[in-house]
Amino acid sequence: MSNQLYDLAEQLEKAIRACHDFQQLKQAYEAVRQDEMAYRLFTNFRDAQMRMHEKQLTGAEIFPEEVEHAQKAMILAQQNEKLSQLMALEQRMSMLLADIQRIAMKPLEELYRSFMETE
């Protein structure tokens, strides 16, 4: 990789680590980790999501009880204040990272689009 790109990627890494949104997210994870109930609700929710996701990827049958269980786990997680806070911060961080990605990928996107338009 060119040194300039490598340097910029590392600067971006440091800036993400230092930014307010990331620091808040880190604190929210810490708060969940130190709260037995929040932590259990979170892992239940995440494990249910992951099991369903794996089944989707492998094309295995997802039973109605599993969907119901995952929905219940999500509702219980959302009702927990520390977890609803964590999820809101996760979403904000996702949007921020998607913005960065969108800006940095513009050259490629333009290249493909201009190639398509010539058809």
Segment lying near its own copies (by CB under 8 A), choices 10-18, 63-71, 76-84: 10-18
Q: Quick check: 115 binds its own copies (CB under 8 A)?
A: yes
Residue by residue, DSSP assigns the chain as: --HHHHHHHHHHHHHHHHSHHHHHHHHHHHHHHT-HHHHHHHHHHHHHHHHHHHHHHHTPPPPHHHHHHHHHHHHHHHHSHHHHHHHHHHHHHHHHHHHHHHHHTHHHHHHHHHHHHT-
Q: Which of 15, 50, 62, 88 binds its own copies (CB under 8 A)?
A: 15
**Per CB under 8 A, which of residues 44..83 are in contact with its own copies?**
none
Q: Which of 36, 61, 107, 113 binds its own copies (CB under 8 A)?
A: 107
Segment lying near its own copies (by CB under 8 A), choices 60-68, 69-77, 95-103: 95-103
Q: Quick check: 88 binds its own copies (CB under 8 A)?
A: no
Alpha-carbon dihedral sign for residues 67, 70, 74, 80: positive
Kindly list the residues in this chain that would bind its own copies in the complex (CB under 8 A). 1-2, 4-6, 8-13, 15-17, 19-22, 25-26, 29, 32-33, 43, 93, 96-97, 99-101, 103-108, 111, 115, 118-119
